[in-house]
Amino acid sequence: MNFRKICSSLCLFSMLASITSSRPSSAKGSDTVAAAVSASANSKPVEQDSARLPLSVRPTNYALTFEPDAKSFTFKGTANINITISAQTSVIVLNAADLTISEASIRTPKDGLQNATVQLEAAKEQARLSFKSQLAPGQYVLNLRFKGSLNDQLRGFYRSAYVDEKGSTKYMFVTQMEPTDARRMFPSFDEPAFKSTFQITAIVDPQYTVISNAPVAKIERQGNGKKVVAFDKTPVMSSYLVALIVGDLKASQSKTANGIPITVWTTPGKESLAECALNTAVEILPVQEKYFGIPYPGKKLDLIALPDFGAGAMENLGAITFRESRLLLDSKTGTNFLKRVIAGIEAHEMAHQWFGDLVTMQWWDDLWLNEAFATWMATKTVNTIRPEWRALARSVETRNFAMGDDQLQSTRPIHAHVANPSDAIEMFDGITYEKGASILRMLEVFVGEETFQKGIHDYLSSHAFGNAKTEELWDAIATATGSSVPVLELMKPWVYQPGFPLLAITQQSPDREIKLEQKRFFAASDAPSSKALWQIPITFHPLQSQLQPSQSQSQSQSQSQSQSQSVSTPASTFTSAEQKVQTKLFTEAQGSLEAGDLKDAAFANKDGSGFYRVMYAQQDFQTICAKFAQLSAEERLSFISDTHALAVSGKIPVENLLNLLLKVKDENDPLVLLNLVRLFYLPYPSMDAGSVPAYQRFVQVHLSPLKDRLGWDAKDGEPELNKDLRSEVLTQLGTYGQDKKTIDEAFEKYHRYMQDSKSVSPDVVTAMLTAVAFNGSDAEYDEMIAAWKLAKAPEDEKRFLQSLTHFRKPEIVSKVLALIVSGQIRGQDAPSILGSLLEHFDTQHQAWEFTKTNWTKLVKQFPPTSMRHVAGACMYFHRKSDEQELKSFFATHKVPFGESTLARALEDVHISVLYEERYANRVRQWVVNHDTFDLKQ
């Protein structure tokens, strides 16, 4: 079973939580660093790739003018581009897609104006400008006039529809350029290394507000009544960071942080929903300026909420764009979860203003330099401003999520060859974001936080307003260590090899030597072996033979508090023994490390900071299970993930994993409990008609006491993460656990909520709606549809829409499927609704029949990159017949921008099939044996 099935919502702030794509073609067979380096050396130089631009012509400044037409959904524009030519040529090649270039000329110092012949090459998304005379090296101005469409595909310069307060449909005109869609707005040198300044002017209807990367320089009126808004010149930046937003926008109250004005922009009527985002941004900016030791590179910061937006957010320099549901929050009905999401996404995108905007990767193969660090920096920032959310501890969840992708044969290295726009799009995945962030955390722990921070500062300072490569980051960090750590050699395997190691500990106590083996870990039990090796920084956490009296007392007090109050986070209980084993690099296939003063088993990944799995001898595994409470919360999360993966791959008995579910009765940490409770779904797909009642009783017996402690309502002074835990427990009991009391309570609260939305705590609304839908009928469906259409806050709109995917009755599921292609659901949301129906065990086959029947229609209707998410959702199938059916269908149906997503999904299905064939009977038997387990034992 796929761990992502159980914990798909673990990532707090990455826009990639639903993206599972990668580039398998560059990953397969690349088991060693030598192979990866050799493949890179034998490939064509990047400047010779057919989709790449020549390096002999470079822009230095763009003067751009755009005039959108709200009636025809078209725009016209001009571009005057200052360029430098370094080698004589009669041809200039730049990027253009879906544009008509009506005029092209160049002003030369010698010959004055020279016109060009324009040849558009659609397949390459390029325009070739041919001149009669040779252009000698020097400075020129390229003049272009062009037209384009304000598309509905959520890329380039596009239109976004919304319904205003009077019920009328209105439009905004907005941009989304990353990775390669600036070329759909204006002819450009649309590669990250062609950095330049931009001077943008917009000619618009007078009622519109216009926002771009830089502050407004001046506003004038034309004789025809149009408004001309000219912006200051931007800092030097890449074309994919250009932003232009035109529409009826309203500003929140602006606030200043470290001298930078920050404003949140919304459509009319939603200004009151911006307070949380504004206040959070004001807290974030000083924290990040201090960490980087470099001033914010822009003159202002606008945060813009867009009704239609394909990504979660986009880091345009000085003008960050967001989905409404990822920026706006109703202070009265907003959930704790959304507050965390908003803070995390803001911290991620604001970190990009330095790591990505100020210093940009040279090419898309190093995208991880941008996204991995922004993901890790968001964790550090949120942990600073909201320590109660425990973002650092939750970074282990990020690690676990990434391993779910990286344990596949169809994964890819973090650094993978990118030859064209399709390749670039597929780089936006869990390998780039979550794996990249996890190896940065591992390196930071290894070299030390202060050293790591200094290396980051030096890297940004030396490459400010320029481009960099991975090796230059490693050089900066190595220099910060005083060259005492060979960072480049250490990190090469983690960046240039696919996958990660399994560390098998074949012997620990009582000897003073720990025997180790490493080999690449695959989730599929029939995967081929690999000779890949890594340099693994290992720090052991020694476990004590017995708890000290003071610790036992602390444990007792903690359990007592949890019974009387709620689940509590232990303060400083279960600290490790005084003796420590220093971090050591393990680089061989087999070897040993001195165990120091260890007298018992040790946990081999202290605080879960290492990006590797650990397999213990069964005796040591049992010892660690018995001393589970001595592990830190991060170590427990790591241990749970490792145990799950090892059981699925057939390397350890499945009972080792199932027995962890029983830990809920003794666990007090809400974050660990949250992960354990999610595992309660694990046996469900293996159940048959005879064992389902036993499974339901098992869930009820083990989670009802936790529900009784938590209740439906938050308690004063409880840990913040209890809110997440409460929702998960109620969801499990109200759906697959079929607890009648919980279901009845959910319906009772639902009826009150539909009359008064303030009558139910915001943090349990999703659990309540899920339980009602799961057990609901046509009446509830009709009510939720009406509530979705009338929702004012984006969060309410999203959760009512998502709740529709939890109905199980076939006739209701058919209604939801029909709704998906009706045009009533936004293009940004429809693919995820279909994906949810494909994920859910009880609806996936009905949803799949719909998907097959409507494939051609869906490809045309959904935004171009969205079908890969639909294909990715097929990873949740688990029967042999499903695997054969999926392979047969996709053999003749191409997934746009989704080759690697599909490969990964099909491999996940294969892994689930192997798991079911091996373990289904044992899982059923285990559940039957434990459905009435005595909690007092």
Scanning the structure block, which residue is given the tokens 């794509």?
21
> Do residues 257 and 286 lie in contact, with contact meaning Cβ atoms separated by under 8 Å?
yes
Phi, psi (rounded to 5 degrees) for 68: -80, 145
* Residue 81: C-alpha distances to residues 78, 104, 140, 143, 579 (Å): 10, 11, 8, 6, 65
> Do residues 323 and 313 lie in contact, with contact meaning Cβ atoms separated by under 8 Å?
yes
Q: How far apart are CA 549 and CA 208, in angstroms?
A: 70
Q: How far apart are CA 718 and CA 669, in angstroms?
A: 12
Q: Classify residue 118 as left (phi > 0), alpha (psi -120 to 50) or beta.
A: beta
**Residue 45, C-beta contacts closer than 8 angstroms, at least 6 positions apart:** none
> Do residues 157 and 173 lie in contact, with contact meaning Cβ atoms separated by under 8 Å?
yes
**3-state secondary structure at position 186:** coil
Scanning the structure block, which residue is given the tokens 């994993």?
657
Phi, psi (rounded to 5 degrees) for 742: -65, -40
Phi, psi (rounded to 5 degrees) for 248: -85, 90
In 3D space, the residue among 927, 501, 383 whose CA is nearest the CA of residue 696 turns out to be: 927
| Residue 854 burial (C-beta neighbours within 10 Å; 0-12, 13-18, 19+) | middle
Q: How far apart are CA 368 and CA 742, in angstroms?
A: 44
Q: How far apart are CA 573 and CA 632, in angstroms?
A: 9
> Do residues 459 and 472 lie in contact, with contact meaning Cβ atoms separated by under 8 Å?
yes
> Do you find a cis peptide bond into 693, omega within 30 degrees of 0?
no
Q: Tell me whether strands 584-586 and 89-95 are parallel, antiparallel or unpaired.
A: unpaired
**Helix runs in 722-777, H state only:** 722-734, 740-755, 765-774
**Residue 537, C-beta contacts closer than 8 angstroms, at least 6 positions apart:** 442, 445, 446, 490, 583, 584, 585, 610
Catalytic residue among 349, 444, 667, 780: 349
Structure tokens at 178: 């990353």
The DSSP line for 377-419 is HHHHHHHHH-GGG-HHHHHHHHHHHHHHHHTSTT---SS----
> Do residues 915 and 648 lie in contact, with contact meaning Cβ atoms separated by under 8 Å?
yes
* Residue 216: C-alpha distances to residues 62, 213, 301, 544, 608 (Å): 16, 9, 12, 64, 48
Phi, psi (rounded to 5 degrees) for 676: -70, -40
> Do you find a cis peptide bond into 493, omega within 30 degrees of 0?
no
> Do residues 777 and 809 lie in contact, with contact meaning Cβ atoms separated by under 8 Å?
yes
> Do residues 645 and 609 lie in contact, with contact meaning Cβ atoms separated by under 8 Å?
no
> Do residues 540 and 584 lie in contact, with contact meaning Cβ atoms separated by under 8 Å?
no
Q: How far apart are CA 275 and CA 264, in angstroms?
A: 8
Scanning the structure block, which residue is given the tokens 């907003």?
334
Within 10 angstroms of residue 114's Cβ, the number of other Cβ atoms is 16
Report the number of secondary-structure helices (H) and strands (E) in the chain. 30, 31
* Residue 349 bears catalytic tag: yes
Annotated catalytic residues are: 349
